[in-house]
């Protein structure tokens, strides 16, 4: 049996996959088992922030594998301490809980918000407002939080305690922000929902109204964080710092990790025994995370993300098939005039370019390390398909 046959026989069919068996990646390109190469405009789904197998990152990870690969969270490791310190310093937060994925980071945020409110106000202030068209993960709680009806199927009963508000509708927010609410959870740029950035006015209103009522703001920066927008956090672009920020995807450059960051206000909410994770804060993941932050902090790196984003946006906006280009930085949504995003993605794949889709848009989340030459080569393939 070949690889695809083995998959089909033994791996659950929970994904629609392209017929690509990835054999090796280097930088911003990868090769399949037949030797065909692809330019990567997706980085997994925004995970390989430093591209494939970046040398310094790989050295840091491999060295950690040969030193201590895991210990329970009953003990300390220097590498988790160092990653936590770097992550708090660059993000401006006080403390962090480590899990292994985005959904787990959001589960942690939900638990902190509810316990913060329970400790201060008692039992009946547990609702969390989330936005229509949001995406917060695939566990039962984070699916329940996700504001899209298509996700609320099959797995009944979903969790109660989530109330949806239409994104950018301040009146809707005001009408639902009552005494039962403990938090508002948002993505500054909805990723899976179609690469839609929130309006500054709406974000301002969320923070103002929440501050008045001691309602926490949770920013899900799982897709927008770790340099994707040209800042470490997208919140910096909106001039806001949420009480809780969740991260995952690109933060360790391809090793599974999730982080739930809080300000001082919430850093004492989780006490011994109230939350945990066997793998959370794994030393290998933390070593990868340190390598990512070191790179993001290196001279001019984040500015180069914004410069590359400009190239994408300029070229794409000049294409006759493109209606609009959304998102911020290297989180790019492309609205198409006549073509179907899935068809375009498939044609790009055939021609050696990996792109993503989000709803009816083409979505690009290239490695932050992509070169201007690779951007041009990849865009040439994409534009040719769009203008065909
Ligand atoms: C990907 C994503 C998640 C879920 O992360 P997993 O690691 O797949 O659990 C949650 N929120 C946002 C905004 C995401 O983009």
Averaged in consecutive runs of 10 residues, what is the pLDDT profile of the chain (388 residues)? 96 96 98 98 98 98 98 97 98 98 98 98 97 98 97 96 98 98 98 98 98 98 98 98 98 98 98 97 98 98 98 98 98 98 98 98 98 98 97
What 8-state DSSP symbol labels residue 147?
B
Q: State the pairing for strand pair 181-186/127-131.
A: parallel
Q: What does the pLDDT read at residue 26?
A: 98
Q: Which helix (H) or strand (E) holds 113?
A: helix 102-121
Q: State both tokens at 173.
A: 């927010």
Cα–Cα distance for residue pair 15/30, rounded to 1 Å: 21
Is the distance from CB of 275 to CB of 250 less than 8 angstroms? no
Q: What pLDDT is recorded for position 362?
A: 98
Is there an atom of ligand 1 within 6 Å of 101 CB? Answer: yes
Q: What is the pLDDT of residue 245?
A: 99
User: Which residue from 103, 146, 250 has its CB within 8 A of the most atoms of ligand 1, so it is best to mutate?
Assistant: 103
Answer whether 191 contacts ligand 1 (Cβ < 6 A): yes
Please give the pLDDT value at position 236: 98
Q: Which pLDDT does position 321 carry in this prediction?
A: 98
Mutate to test the pocket of ligand 1, among 42, 45, 102 (most ligand atoms within 8 A of CB): 102
pLDDT at 353: 98
pLDDT score of 87 = 98
Q: Which atom belonging to ligand 1 lies closest to the Cα atom of 106?
A: 10
Ligand 1 center from residue 187 Cα (angstroms): 11
pLDDT computed for residue 140 by the predictor: 98
Q: From CA 209, how far away is CA 207, in angstroms rounded?
A: 6
- Specify the ligand 1 atom closest to the Cα of 142: 10
Query: Does ligand 1 lie within 6 Å of residue 98's CB atom?
Result: no
- The alpha carbons of the chain give a radius of gyration, in whole angstroms, of 21
For atom 5 of ligand 1, which residue has the closest CA?
Answer: 102
Is the pTM value of this prediction over 0.75?
A: yes
Q: Is 147 in the pocket of ligand 1 (CB under 6 A)?
A: no
Cβ of 220 closer than 6 Å to ligand 1, yes or no, is: yes
**From ligand 1's centre to the CA of 352, what distance in Å?**
26
Q: What DSSP line would sit under 337-366, residue for residue?
A: SSS-HHHHHHHHHHTTEE-EEETTEEEE--
Token pair in block for residue 142 = 């984070």
pLDDT value at position 33?
Answer: 96
pLDDT at site 56: 98
Q: Token match 């069919």: residue?
A: 13
The reported pLDDT for the residue numbered 172 is: 98
**What would the two tokens of residue 6 be?**
């083995």
Side-chain half-sphere CA neighbours of 70 within 13 A: 5
Pocket test for ligand 1, best of 187, 223, 258, 279 (most atoms within 8 A of CB): 223
Ligand 1 atom 8, closest CA: 102
Position 280 scores a pLDDT of 98
């Amino acid at each position: 049996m070949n690889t695809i046959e083995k998959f089909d026989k033994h791996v659950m069919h929970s994904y629609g996959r392209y017929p690509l068996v990835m054999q090796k990646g280097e930088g911003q390109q990868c090769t399949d088992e037949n030797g065909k190469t692809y330019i990567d405009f997706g980085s997994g789904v925004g995970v390989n922030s430093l591209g494939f197998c970046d040398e310094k990152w790989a050295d840091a990870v491999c060295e950690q594998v040969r030193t201590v690969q895991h210990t329970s969270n009953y003990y300390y490791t220097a590498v988790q301490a160092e990653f936590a310190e770097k992550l708090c310093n660059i993000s401006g937060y006080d403390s962090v809980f480590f899990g292994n994925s985005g959904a787990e980071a959001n589960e942690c945020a939900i638990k902190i918000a509810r316990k913060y409110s329970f400790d201060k106000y008692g039992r009946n202030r547990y609702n969390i407002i989330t936005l229509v068209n949001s995406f917060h993960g695939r566990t039962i709680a984070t699916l329940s939080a996700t504001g899209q009806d298509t996700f609320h199927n099959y797995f009944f009963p979903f969790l109660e305690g989530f109330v949806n508000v239409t994104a950018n509708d301040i009146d809707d927010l005001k009408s639902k922000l009552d005494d039962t609410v403990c938090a508002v959870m948002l993505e500054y740029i909805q990723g899976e929902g179609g690469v839609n950035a929130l309006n500054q006015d709406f974000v301002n209103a969320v923070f103002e109204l929440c501050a008045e009522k001691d309602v926490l703001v949770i920013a899900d920066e799982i897709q927008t964080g770790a340099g994707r927008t040209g800042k470490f956090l997208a919140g910096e672009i909106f001039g806001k710092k949420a009480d809780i920020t969740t991260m995952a995807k690109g933060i360790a450059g391809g090793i599974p990790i999730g982080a739930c960051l809080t300000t001082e206000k919430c850093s004492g909410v989780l006490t011994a025994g109230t939350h945990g994770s066997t793998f959370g804060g794994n030393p290998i993941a933390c070593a990868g995370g340190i390598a990512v932050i070191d790179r993001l902090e290196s001279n001019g790196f984040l500015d180069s993300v914004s410069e590359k984003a400009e190239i994408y946006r300029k070229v794409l906006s000049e294409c006759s098939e493109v209606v609009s280009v959304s998102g911020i930085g290297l989180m790019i949504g492309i609205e198409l005039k006549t073509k179907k995003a899935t068809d375009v993605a498939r044609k790009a794949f055939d021609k050696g370019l990996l792109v993503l889709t989000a709803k009816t848009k083409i979505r690009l989340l290239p490695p932050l390390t992509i070169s201007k030459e690779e951007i041009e080569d990849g865009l040439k393939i994409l534009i040719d398909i769009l203008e065909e």
